[in-house]
């Protein structure tokens, strides 16, 4: 005798049941689009590329751009506000009929209070109090207006110094140390091309293992024959700039080289070098990078130069 088993299925919860036509119509009336409960289709490759491009594009600072393009107007804005406030106070006093200087003697008027003239004295006293309060407010407004005008004059008198690249005074130079392998030379030349193209670098000196392996870019000219001044690696390594950079094992960025007395330790660089980076290359070398602009190396440039130094250390340690 065969026994048949019946399987009783429990009803699905309301949240898992497929939406009926009436339910879909009700949702459509409520403003829900058809298929809102279903997961959207994944974006295509083209849409993903467009999203990445939009994410990489820098956000435009409309306020900052407007301020930079209207610098004179922004600096003179306190003068305009202070002048307008000053004129408004004077116009208010002229229209309202208030005297320029309040007279306190008007409060008593030299009269004795009697039942007959008491209302007149009371109204005079109230008018004097109102006038006195207005005078105090006008004095405060005048003080603030003068402060705004003075602030605007100070803003107009102080102008930030414009920073622009300079032309290095020197001669073009390309010297490669003896014993440098072809692979290391290609790496060094690639480093120079990259720095000269992407940053404000105009001079590059690489000292490794106690020797100058590369001197390229603009170098200081010798007063005797006009040729590029050679790098004395031993003398440079005895200087404070080299020792401080190698002891700290961190990049040293001199944003305005003219302010540092240690620039005399770099006679091989042009005299008008504006910025300098001393980047240690492992424990055996250092890269001297000179720029033509004050504060010309950005934070991204500094981080990129540090990564290039690690790459150079791995290459030069094999040569």
pLDDT tens-place string over residues 80-136 = 998 898 888 888 877 876 655 545 444 444 445 455 544 544 455 444 455 566 677
More confident residue, 76 or 102: 76
Asked if residue 210 has pLDDT above 70, the reply is yes
Q: What are phi and psi of 282, to 5 degrees?
A: 65, -140
More confident residue, 98 or 138: 138
- 173 three-class SS: strand
Q: Are 221 and 171 in contact (CB under 8 A)?
A: yes
Name the residue among 197, 189, 241, 195 with its Cα closest to residue 213.
189
Q: pLDDT at position 134, please?
A: 65
Query: What CATH architecture applies to the domain 171-317?
Result: 2-Layer Sandwich (3.30)
The region of weakest confidence among 41-50, 58-67, 234-243, 303-312 is: 41-50
Q: pLDDT at position 117, please?
A: 46
pLDDT in tens, 32-75: 444 444 445 566 666 666 665 565 455 667 887 887 788 888 88
Q: pLDDT at position 132, please?
A: 61
The region of weakest confidence among 19-28, 89-98, 107-116, 246-255 is: 107-116
Q: Are 213 and 176 in contact (CB under 8 A)?
A: yes
Spell out the domain ranges in the chain.
67-97+124-160, 171-317
Q: At which residue do the structure tokens 């751009």 appear?
A: 65
Going by DSSP bridges, is the β-strand pair 211-219/201-208 parallel, antiparallel, or unpaired?
Answer: antiparallel
Tokens of residue 227, six digits: 């040729």
Q: pLDDT at position 133, please?
A: 63
Q: pLDDT at position 295, please?
A: 92
- Per the prediction, the chain carries an average pLDDT of 78
Torsion-angle region of residue 142: left (phi > 0), alpha (psi -120 to 50) or beta? alpha
Distance CA(147)–CA(154), nearest Å, equals 11
Q: pLDDT at position 236, please?
A: 93
Instruction: Reduce the secondary structure of 49-82 to three states and give it as a string.
Output: HHHHHHHHCCCCCHHHHHHHHCHHHHHHHHHHHH
Asked if residue 256 has pLDDT above 60, the reply is yes
pLDDT in tens, 183-207: 999 999 999 999 999 999 999 999 9
Q: Are 195 and 305 in contact (CB under 8 A)?
A: yes
Asked if residue 181 has pLDDT above 60, the reply is yes
The region of weakest confidence among 102-106, 229-233, 283-287, 294-298 is: 102-106
Distance CA(309)–CA(188), nearest Å, equals 10
């Amino acid at each position: 005798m065969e026994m048949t088993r019946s399987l009783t299925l429990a009803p699905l919860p309301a949240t898992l049941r497929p939406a009926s036509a009436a339910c879909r119509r009700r949702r459509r009336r409520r403003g829900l689009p058809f298929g809102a409960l279903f997961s959207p289709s994944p974006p295509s490759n083209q849409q993903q590329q467009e999203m990445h491009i939009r994410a990489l594009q820098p956000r435009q600072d409309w306020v900052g751009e407007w301020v930079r393009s209207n610098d004179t107007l922004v600096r003179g804005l306190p003068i305009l506000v202070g002048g307008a406030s000053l004129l408004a106070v004077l116009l208010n006093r002229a229209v309202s009929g208030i005297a320029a200087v309040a007279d306190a003697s008007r409060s008593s008027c030299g009269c004795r209070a009697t039942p007959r003239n008491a209302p007149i004295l009371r109204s005079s006293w109230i008018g004097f109090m109102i006038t006195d309060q207005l005078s105090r407010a006008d004095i405060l407004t005048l003080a603030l207006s003068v402060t705004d005008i003075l602030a605007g004059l100070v803003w107009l008198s102080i102008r930030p110094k414009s920073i622009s690249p300079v032309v290095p005074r020197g001669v073009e130079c390309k010297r490669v140390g003896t014993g440098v392998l072809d692979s290391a030379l290609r790496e060094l030349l690639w480093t120079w091309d990259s720095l000269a193209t992407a940053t404000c670098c105009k001079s590059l000196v690489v000292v490794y293992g106690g020797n100058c392996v590369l001197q390229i870019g603009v170098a200081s000219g010798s007063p005797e024959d006009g040729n590029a001044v050679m790098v004395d690696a031993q003398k440079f390594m005895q200087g404070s700039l080299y020792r401080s950079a190698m002891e700290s094992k961190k990049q040293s960025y001199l944003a305005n080289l003219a302010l540092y007395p240690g620039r005399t330790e770099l006679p091989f660089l042009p005299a008008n070098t504006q910025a300098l980076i001393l980047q240690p290359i492992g424990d055996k070398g250092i890269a001297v990078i000179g720029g033509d602009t004050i504060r010309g190396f950005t934070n991204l440039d500094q981080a990129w130069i540090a990564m290039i130094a690690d790459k150079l250390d791995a290459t030069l340690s094999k040569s």
